Structure 1
Amino acid sequence: MAQEVRDPQRHADAEYFTLLSGQKIPSVGLGTWRSGSDAAKAVCTAIVQAGYRHVDTAAEYGVQEEVGKGLKAAMQAGIAREDLFITSKLWCSDLAPDRVKYAVKKTLKELQLDYLDLYLIHWPFRLKDGAHRPPEAGEVLDFDMEGVWKEMEDLVRDGLVKDIGVCNYTVTKLNRLLKSAQIIPSVCQIEMHPGWRNDKMLEACKKYGIHVTAYSPLGSSERNLTHDPVVTTVANKLNKTPAQVLIKWAIQRGTSVIPKSKHEERIKENIQVFNWVIPEEDFQVLSTIKDQRRVLDGEVLFVNKDHGPYKSTAELWDNED
């Protein structure tokens, strides 16, 4: 198997990455998916006690009001807004040009913020309001990608967001977007870990200077990499936890990373990834773990094997795997 093409030492201790806009994105952020009512406490703990400056959330997570409470508490504790990097996402039912600004204003209200540092298209599929999961026939609507992106660009011009980007895109969809974009996406957020390295998208983004944020860096419930024998061997060798090794692997690869947790000890543990390095040989060993995309969430959300329009995981990902 080919070795990682990136220099794993180049970004070894990067606490920030610089985006196309010049804005800096912290290399480790707190993910808030499935945080529930614990989101406020988790966010405040992460920022005030653990030193996080990057928080990632989304309208679809249903926790933005709680995240907003946590952000407010952190700022009341003395953390300046300009020192924080807050990311949210535009959900599929709002993927229409006339709904973009309304959606971001609702998000800002829930988060109790005047602006976002980063706003992302959550998934590149437009769903009808109230669509089933997976959607029934007629519930996946035409997605005016170019029109929606133009509205996203206007959010930057209006000062509502500093940077815009995409999530869960394929190379095909990214190339389509770039043909009309006046503002190139600053960030592409995608699933990425040693068990699904997503090399094609990583290299496509690198080509255009688009920064990549890795979600699910520890693997998934179907394949939790913290228990993988390769990961645990490297962790024991370095006297680190498996989670720390996986997060560090992502940073050394040149990506920011958003591990999620609502437990204080793990939140603190997950950001203890600086001032040490995964040696080259161990980095390459981690990069040869068998690839296996986590497909469950995408299937649950969008794949309807009977009615389509996406009848398989391969169709969902433009047959790029």
Structure 2
Amino acid sequence: MAQDEHQFVLKSGHAIPAVGLGTWRAGSDTAHSVQTAIIEAGYRHVDTAAQYGVEQEVGKGLKAAIEAGINRKDLFVTSKIWCTNLAPEKVRPALKNTLKDLQLDYIDLYLIHWPFQLKDGAHQPPEAGEVLEFDMEGVWRGMERLVTDGLVKDIGICNFSVTKLNRLLRSANIPPAVCQVVVSHSILYYKMFSSKMEMEMHPGWKNDKIFEACKNQGIHVTAYSPLGSSEKNLAHDPVVEKIANKLNKTSGQVLIKWALQRGTSVIPKSTKDERIKENIQVFGWEIPEEDFQVLCSIKDEVRTEKRVLTGEELFVNKTHGPYKSASELWDNED
């Protein structure tokens, strides 16, 4: 844990709030949720992405919070560049569009959403020729210039394999400050209608490989989906419920606290006011070490034929590739 339990300090010296509001699939409630989180619940971190389609609504919520007296300097705003903009010449225009939608002059953290470049209008999964050669080094140079020019305070990554992380580190002048891990190799139920955009990290899917790689490089990890995924709602896990009852906390609070004590910031998503407020009530208490270890010992989920690795439905085309399997997509690290 960071010395101040409310935040973690990045390699750049900037602080990232320990708990933020996720906005994936937040829909028409987004502006209200952002206002509630910041003004009523005390959040200071809001996480979004161009691909979520809600940045304008996030911007409305941020504007309302600032007009209500919240200092912009006290807020931490994260967004992500989508795959169709992963070309060196597209980085700045993509960020400019995000700033316009968010009604901000700068953002605190800008992440590469997925390390694959897609052709404009690409299908999911992409058809032949729709996955382009990703100039990772060139894109990262463009990201670094955003920092130099004061448009972004920190830059980072999402959904990187250890192999891709190591490749990036070999050429980066500014190393990634954050790796957002929502399911580096997370699993999704095959009947889900929409693709989850990140890698999960929770007691049922710990993502130790990328977590340890980032830790060794001094890269802070943000855990997306700390409460579990759609098919594995850990809030109803009997082990979690038992510990929650013992501590007189909700299961959700215990799961978020587990992630914080592990050393990761978290961005739980909710559009319900009461849940938004509940999710940040995780300070001023600890999970006892014996209970923390019990949570750590929850067995990682077992993949079945009804489950797929995260990213498969986005990028894997088993007929003509270039990624014909989830293993290829994740550099055979699964």
Give TM class, smaller chain.
over 0.9
Q: What is residue 239 of structure 1 aligned with on the other side?
A: 248
Q: What is residue 191 of structure 2 aligned with on the other side?
A: none
1:157 aligns with 2:148: yes
Unaligned runs of at least 5 residues, structure 2: 183-200
> 2:275 & 2:64 partners in 1: Cα distance?
20
1:307: Cα distance to partner? 2.2
| Equivalent of 1:259 in 261, 268, 284 | 268
1:44 aligns with 2:8: no
1:234: Cα distance to partner? 1.1
Farther off after superposition, 74-83 or 232-241: 232-241
> 1:225 & 1:139 partners in 2: Cα distance?
37
1:227: Cα distance to partner? 1.3
Query: Superposition pairs for residues 98-247 of structure 1, below 5 Å?
Result: 98-191=89-182, 192-247=201-256
> 2:63 & 2:316 partners in 1: Cα distance?
38
Which ranges of 4 or more aligned residues in structure 1 deviate by more than 4 Å?
10-13, 293-297
Q: Could you give the per-residue CA deviations for residues 71-106 of structure 1, whole angstroms, max 9, x where no partner exists?
A: 000001100000000000000000000000000000
TM-score (norm 2): 0.91
Q: Could you give the per-residue CA deviations for residues 138-183 of structure 1, whole angstroms, max 9, x where no partner exists?
A: 1111000000000000000011000000000111000000000000
- The one-letter code matched in structure 2 to 1:142 is E
SS in structure 1 at match of 2:153: strand
1:61 aligns with 2:68: no
> 1:11 & 1:288 partners in 2: Cα distance?
23
| Equivalent of 1:26 in 10, 17, 21 | 17
Unaligned runs of at least 5 residues, structure 1: 1-9
Q: What is residue 92 of structure 1 aligned with on the other side?
A: 83
> 2:90 & 2:308 partners in 1: Cα distance?
29
Check the 8 A contact 1:12/1:252 in 2, yes or no. no
Indicate the percent of aligned positions where both proteins have the same amino acid. 75
Farther off after superposition, 193-202 or 266-275: 193-202
Check the 8 A contact 1:30/1:46 in 2, yes or no. yes
1:306 aligns with 2:311: no
SS in structure 2 at match of 1:274: coil
> 1:257/1:129 Cα in 2 relative to 1: closer, same or farther (>3 Å)?
same
> 2:105 & 2:308 partners in 1: Cα distance?
35
> 2:291 & 2:177 partners in 1: Cα distance?
30
> 1:189 & 1:206 partners in 2: Cα distance?
13
SS in structure 2 at match of 1:87: strand
> 1:75 & 1:57 partners in 2: Cα distance?
18
> 2:277 & 2:227 partners in 1: Cα distance?
16
Farther off after superposition, 286-295 or 259-268: 286-295
- The one-letter code matched in structure 2 to 1:320 is E
Check the 8 A contact 2:309/2:326 in 1, yes or no. no
SS in structure 2 at match of 1:281: helix
Q: CA RMSD in A?
A: 1.3
1:12: Cα distance to partner? 8.9
> 1:235/1:214 Cα in 2 relative to 1: closer, same or farther (>3 Å)?
same
1:277 aligns with 2:286: yes
SS in structure 2 at match of 1:164: strand
Q: Could you give the per-residue CA deviations for residues 31-65 of structure 1, whole angstroms, max 9, x where no partner exists?
A: 00000111000000000000000000000000000
> 1:77 & 1:143 partners in 2: Cα distance?
42
Farther off after superposition, 222-231 or 116-125: 222-231
- The one-letter code matched in structure 2 to 1:304 is N
Check the 8 A contact 1:11/1:251 in 2, yes or no. no
SS in structure 2 at match of 1:152: helix
- The one-letter code matched in structure 1 to 2:252 is A
Check the 8 A contact 1:12/1:251 in 2, yes or no. no
> 1:314 & 1:230 partners in 2: Cα distance?
31
Query: Superposition pairs for residues 71-90 of structure 1, below 5 Å?
Result: 71-90=62-81
1:290: Cα distance to partner? 1.5
Q: Which has the higher contact order (CA 8 A, sep 6+)?
A: 1
> 1:130 & 1:186 partners in 2: Cα distance?
30
Check the 8 A contact 2:178/2:220 in 1, yes or no. yes
- The one-letter code matched in structure 2 to 1:310 is Y
SS in structure 2 at match of 1:117: strand
Farther off after superposition, 106-115 or 288-297: 288-297
1:288 aligns with 2:297: yes
Q: What is residue 6 of structure 1 aligned with on the other side?
A: none
1:296: Cα distance to partner? 5.5
